[in-house]
């Protein structure tokens, strides 16, 4: 049975909004675009741009998306030639400014997932200064067997994590079960396997081991190399996106767009019949397109947690994105158009009426998009030639984890979309 929640008003059934309301909405968004552009120029846009510059870029994207959505939904009330020429330019502005932020968020998402999957809660920058202080932790280090010698805490202070962190046959033996192959403070800084039985008993009785082995800050060799590879690739992509954005903002193409937006802030090219035309049928048409797209989604499958449907075609050799993600991405775009149409119907105040179901569904679809693109980035990194098997394995685990995140986002969308809206007026 579908759940219900209250929605105080329905903007599509209130007082009729006409072309004048659309003109006010477009003028307000054009003004926001120009204000964000001025703020972006004042705060600087260099390689070390401030947080204010990043926020100005986000404001530019928001206003550009809303203007473009208004031109798309209510095109019949506007000059068609002007709309057809303006919409691609606004999409170019929004897409170009979004790439740098997307690469930054994708890298952070993947590195966080790597540490979570490795049992570590700290990011690489947080473990650099504390690595030397983990040598004597009971659950932190193991004997260094690659060099064929025992780990001596008075000489080296820690085990060699780059060598895999385990005692191997090359060391001439193996760690005893009482010590678990770890260095112990009660053993005088030597491995418990080499200590006499009384010392091993003392190490065992010195106190319980910390059960939080996942709290170690060091990654395995494969995960560390996978993180380094992702960092190189995505940082390079982010740098290129930043340069592309700077070039775009200084190009004649962008200045032409800014000039048209400036004209829009004072004069909206409405048709003659727009002043007396109701906006609600056009907004309802956008809602119907969204409903049809949602009806085509496999919501029954998405409603079953852990259905593993998002992992289908996970080993496909194709480098294109998952074809099963495309309908969900399309629903995300249609949901955005529907939200913006509601804003336009409400007048210049924007989103005066908030539908909690739409907001929750939008957040779930944003998570879906982010996880899908992160999984694609992990798969692309795994195709790098001549990488170590341990690195490829870590990237494969990371890819599967992000595909599970895709599945979780679909489940969350299904849960919130099945809620029925109860009107109170």
What does the pLDDT look like over 95-107, one tens digit per residue? 999 999 999 999 9
pLDDT of residue 71: 96
- Better-scored residue on pLDDT, 215 or 261: 261
Confidence of residue 54 (pLDDT cuts 50, 70, 90): confident
pLDDT of residue 45: 58
Q: Tokens 């693109």 appear where?
A: 373
pLDDT of residue 348: 47
Q: How far is CA 340 from the centre of its chain?
A: 22
- The overall pTM is greater than 0.75: no
pLDDT at 63 over 80: yes
- Better-scored residue on pLDDT, 23 or 6: 23
pLDDT at 332 over 90: yes
CA distance 213 to 119: 8
Mean predicted confidence (pLDDT) in 6-31 = 77
pLDDT of residue 302: 85
Mean predicted confidence (pLDDT) in 207-229 = 67
Mean predicted confidence (pLDDT) in 191-204 = 43
Mean predicted confidence (pLDDT) in 356-370 = 94
pLDDT at 168 over 80: no
Mean predicted confidence (pLDDT) in 62-79 = 96
pLDDT of residue 323: 81
Residue 221: count other Cβ atoms within 10 Å of its Cβ: 17
Burial environment of residue 227 by CB neighbours within 10 A (0 to 12, 13 to 18, 19 or more): buried
- Better-scored residue on pLDDT, 286 or 357: 286
Mean predicted confidence (pLDDT) in 200-217 = 43
Provide the β-strand partners of residue 183. Answer: 191
pLDDT at 256 over 50: yes
Residue 372 is classified by DSSP as H
Residue 248: enclosing H or E segment and its boundaries? helix 221-249
- Better-scored residue on pLDDT, 117 or 211: 117
Confidence of residue 305 (pLDDT cuts 50, 70, 90): confident
Confidence of residue 346 (pLDDT cuts 50, 70, 90): confident
Structure tokens that stand for 327 in this block: 């309908």
Q: Tokens 């303006």 appear where?
A: 86
Mean predicted confidence (pLDDT) in 156-169 = 39
pLDDT at 123 over 90: no
Confidence of residue 418 (pLDDT cuts 50, 70, 90): confident
pLDDT of residue 26: 95
Mean predicted confidence (pLDDT) in 152-164 = 39
**Hey, is 420 helix, strand or coil?**
strand
CA angle, residues 181, 185, 189, in degrees to nearest 5: 75
CB of 71 within 8 A of CB of 270? no
pLDDT at 295 over 60: yes
CA distance 199 to 171: 21
pLDDT of residue 52: 78
Confidence of residue 157 (pLDDT cuts 50, 70, 90): very low
pLDDT at 369 over 90: yes
Q: 286 vs 17, 134, 260, CA distance in Å?
A: 16, 58, 26
Provide the β-strand partners of residue 78. Answer: 270
CA max distance for the chain: 97
pLDDT at 383 over 60: yes
User: Nearest to residue 340, comparing CAs of 360, 320, 355, 324?
Assistant: 355
What is the pLDDT of the chain when averaged over all its residues? 77
Structure tokens that stand for 422 in this block: 């109860």
């Amino acid at each position: 049975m579908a759940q219900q929640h209250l929605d105080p008003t329905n903007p599509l059934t209130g007082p009729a909004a006409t072309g004048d309301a659309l003109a006010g909405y477009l003028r307000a968004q054009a003004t926001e675009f120009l204000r964000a552009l001025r703020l972006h120029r004042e705060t600087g846009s260099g390689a070390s741009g401030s947080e204010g510059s990043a926020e100005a870029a986000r404001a530019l994207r928001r206003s550009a998306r809303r203007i473009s959505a208004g031109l798309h939904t209510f095109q019949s009330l506007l000059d068609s030639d002007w709309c057809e020429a303006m919409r691609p330019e606004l999409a170019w502005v929004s897409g170009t400014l979004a790439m740098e932020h997307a690469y930054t968020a994708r890298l952070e998402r993947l590195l966080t997932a790597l540490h979570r999957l490795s049992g570590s809660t700290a990011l690489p920058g947080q473990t650099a200064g504390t690595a030397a202080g983990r040598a004597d932790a009971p659950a932190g280090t193991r004997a260094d067997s690659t060099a064929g010698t025992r780990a001596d805490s008075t000489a080296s202070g820690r085990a060699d994590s780059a060598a895999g962190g385990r005692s191997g046959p090359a060391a001439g033996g193996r760690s005893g079960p009482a010590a678990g192959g770890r260095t112990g403070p009660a053993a005088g800084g030597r491995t418990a396997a080499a200590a006499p039985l009384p010392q091993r008993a003392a190490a065992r009785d010195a106190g319980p081991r910390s059960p939080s082995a996942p709290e170690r800050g060091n990654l395995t060799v494969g995960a560390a190399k996978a993180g380094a590879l992702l960092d190189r690739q995505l940082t390079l992509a982010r740098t290129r996106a930043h340069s592309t954005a700077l070039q775009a903002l200084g190009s004649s193409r962008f200045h032409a767009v800014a000039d048209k937006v400036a004209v829009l802030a004072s004069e909206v090219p409405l048709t003659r019949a727009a002043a007396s035309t109701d906006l609600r049928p056009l907004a309802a048409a956008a809602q119907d397109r969204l409903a049809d797209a949602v009806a085509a989604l496999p919501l029954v499958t998405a409603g079953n947690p852990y259905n593993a449907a998002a992992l289908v075609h996970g080993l496909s050799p194709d480098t294109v994105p998952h074809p099963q993600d495309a309908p969900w991405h399309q629903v995300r775009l249609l949901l955005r158009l529907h939200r913006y149409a509601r804003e336009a119907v409400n007048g210049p105040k924007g989103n005066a009426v908030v539908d909690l179901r739409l907001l929750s569904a939008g957040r779930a679809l944003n998570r879906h998009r982010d996880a899908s693109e992160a999984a694609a980035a992990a798969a692309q990194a795994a195709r790098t030639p001549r990488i170590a098997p341990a690195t490829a394995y870590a990237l494969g685990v990371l890819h599967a984890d992000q595909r599970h995140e895709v599945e979780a986002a679909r489940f969350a969308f299904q849960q919130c979309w099945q809620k029925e809206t109860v009107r109170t007026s």
